[in-house]
Amino acid sequence: MKKILRLRKLRPADAKYFLKWWTDKELIALTSGRPVEPADRLLGYFQRLLGERHNYLITVNGKVIGHVMIVRRGKNSFGFPIVIGEPKYRGRGYGSRAIRKILSIGFLKLGYKEARLEVRPENAGAIKVYASLGFRPIGTKTYNNPYQPKVQVMAMSRAAFVASPTFA
């Protein structure tokens, strides 16, 4: 059976996924590295996300497996925080497929010229995926934050996206 991956708009009833994923210590170690937040704080964050225009849950054959959104990073660039929240769906190519879809929205629908992302240097799997999709390292960024002091910054231009056979 073919696995159909879709992005669907975030809905109020989706809060349960955020509470589950953002209390998963393994997932947090790969992303923010911060301690688990209390449920009321997570729900407040989720409520703010509901107001974002390009905010999607990732589904496979109707099952919710993750989250991705477009975040404006400047006049001509965007970022896209992404997480595959369901552990059994990690490492199976769903993140790559969701990234292709979100890049299509950002570049082709919204007209951005560049996509940028930040990734923890120890998240080798994510770095490998981003590189395979055409992202190139452009440097590192240091934060005054004990949980995420340094991140690798990667970018892709719209021209590279359009020219890539991966996205045809």
Segment 19-36 shows an average pLDDT of 70
User: How many folded domains does the chain comprise?
Assistant: 1
- Indicate the DSSP class of residue 156: E
Q: Which CATH number is 136's domain given?
A: 3.40.630.30
* More confident of the two residues 106 and 46: 106
Higher per-residue pLDDT: 60 or 148: 60
Digit-coded pLDDT (tens) for 28-63: 766 665 655 666 777 778 888 888 889 999 999 999
For residue 70, the enclosing domain spans 5-167
Question: Do strands 114-119 and 77-79 pair parallel, antiparallel, or not at all (unpaired)?
Answer: parallel
Q: Enter the pTM of the model.
A: 0.88
Instruction: Copy the structure tokens of residue 128.
Output: 């490998």
Q: Is the dihedral of CA 148, 37, 43, 123 positive or negative?
A: positive
pLDDT of residue 97: 95
**Whole-number pLDDT of residue 144:** 80
**DSSP-assigned states of every residue in 100-143:** HHHHHIIIIIS--SEEEEEE-TT-HHHHHHHHHTT-EEEEEEE-
